[in-house]
């Protein structure tokens, strides 16, 4: 068997086209547009590059964006006051505080200061809680949302399927397991202490891997015909490797995502959640 590829750029383009169309309609009908703010503290070059990428994508999609930079001398209360100002700004629908923050700041307190419906990364305890409760009023964290979009793109029906998630981080593995459960899959969550990991993976109809270990998942771990979603991004020399041995696993899987392509979709998922926030803030239904 040779797996069919689920291509991130194709899925991403379809989502971006939909966002552009919808934002265009919204602007025509209301004169408003989704707005996002990105808060940078200190001079982490990766954070800065990520903020600039989002600024560029926001423009491409017709959103308004503002990036606010602060030196690593801003104190916690000052930073929270900035967040409160964005919370009460009606033109801002999403607030991203770029992580990691310098050590002297308490990331949890800072994230919790963002109003849950404007915290579109889905990390706020209220959003995580609503996800577990199956409430619609939440933002699904962006990396698991990218995985879900990959599965939706092949019309995969998760009902009654066995989904195995390898990785239990708060940002990826745990919310992924909750989403799959919500979709009526039977879910097993694995981590670094899981016994017999290859055998557990082999039980999967859908295998989602997010561990940060280059090519750990081997061909022998994958049931023929399984759907394999590889979230891992591992830079090895000048190559990006996934957590799955892509070439070999492709020989047995039914569907597979190429290395790096799920991770590359997260900015688009951020924008999708920003649009959702706009719509819930303005309680709007727009003509599609």
Active site residues: 54, 98, 121
Closer CB to ligand NAP, residue 58 or residue 146?
Answer: 146
- In whole angstroms, how close is the CB of 276 to ligand NAP at the nearest point? 18
**Contact in structure between 112 and 119 (CB atoms under 8 Å):** no
Please tell me the distance from the alpha carbon of residue 189 to that of residue 168, in angstroms, as a whole number. Answer: 7
- In whole angstroms, how close is the CB of 87 to ligand NAP at the nearest point? 24
- In whole angstroms, how close is the CB of 231 to ligand NAP at the nearest point? 4
- In whole angstroms, how close is the CB of 232 to ligand NAP at the nearest point? 4
For ligand NAP, the binding residues (CB under 6 A) are: 143, 166-169, 171-173, 190-194, 197, 210-213, 216, 231-234, 263, 266
Alpha-carbon 168 to chain mean position: 15
User: Rounded to the nearest 5°, which phi and psi values hold at 58?
Assistant: -60, -45
Closer CB to ligand NAP, residue 23 or residue 208?
Answer: 208
Closer CB to ligand NAP, residue 95 or residue 233?
Answer: 233
> What size, in residues, is the chain?
288
Please tell me the distance from the alpha carbon of residue 34 to that of residue 98, in angstroms, as a whole number. Answer: 19
Cα–Cα separations (whole angstroms), residue 32 to 24, 25, 87, 287: 10, 10, 17, 15
Cite the DSSP H helix spans in 125-265: 125-133, 142-153, 173-182, 197-202, 246-249
Neighbour tally for 9: CB within 10 Å: 11
- In whole angstroms, how close is the CB of 121 to ligand NAP at the nearest point? 8
Please report the sign of the dihedral spanned by the C-alpha atoms of residue 279, residue 280, residue 285, residue 288. positive
Closer CB to ligand NAP, residue 3 or residue 210?
Answer: 210
Closer CB to ligand NAP, residue 205 or residue 243?
Answer: 243
Write the DSSP symbol of residue 20: H
């Amino acid at each position: 068997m040779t797996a069919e590829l689920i291509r991130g750029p194709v899925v991403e383009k379809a989502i971006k086209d939909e966002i552009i169309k919808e934002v265009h309609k919204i602007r025509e009908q209301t004169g408003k547009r989704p707005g996002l703010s990105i808060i940078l503290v200190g001079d982490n070059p990766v954070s800065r590059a990520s903020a600039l990428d989002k600024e560029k994508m926001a423009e491409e999609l017709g959103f308004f964006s503002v990036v606010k930079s602060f030196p690593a001398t801003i104190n916690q209360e000052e930073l929270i006051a900035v967040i409160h100002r964005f919370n009460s700004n009606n033109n801002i629908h999403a607030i991203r505080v770029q992580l990691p923050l310098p050590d002297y700041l308490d990331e949890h307190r800072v994230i919790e200061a963002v109003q849950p419906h404007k915290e579109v990364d889905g990390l706020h305890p209220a959003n995580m809680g609503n996800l577990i409760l199956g409430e619609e009023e939440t933002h699904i964290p962006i990396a698991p949302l990218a995985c879900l979009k990959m599965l939706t793109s092949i019309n995969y029906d998760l009902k009654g399927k066995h989904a195995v998630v390898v990785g239990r981080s708060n940002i990826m593995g745990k919310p992924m397991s909750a989403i799959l459960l919500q979709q009526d899959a039977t879910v097993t969550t694995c981590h670094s202490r899981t016994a017999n990991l290859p055998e557990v993976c082999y039980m999967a109809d859908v295998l989602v891997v997010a561990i940060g270990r280059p090519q750990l998942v081997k061909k022998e771990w994958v049931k023929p015909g399984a759907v394999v979603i590889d979230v891992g991004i591992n830079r090895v020399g000048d190559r990006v490797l996934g957590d799955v041995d892509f070439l070999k696993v492709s020989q047995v899987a039914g569907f597979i995502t190429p290395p790096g392509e799920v991770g590359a979709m997260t900015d688009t998922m951020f924008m999708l959640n920003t649009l959702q926030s706009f719509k819930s803030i303005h309680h709007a239904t727009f003509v599609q």
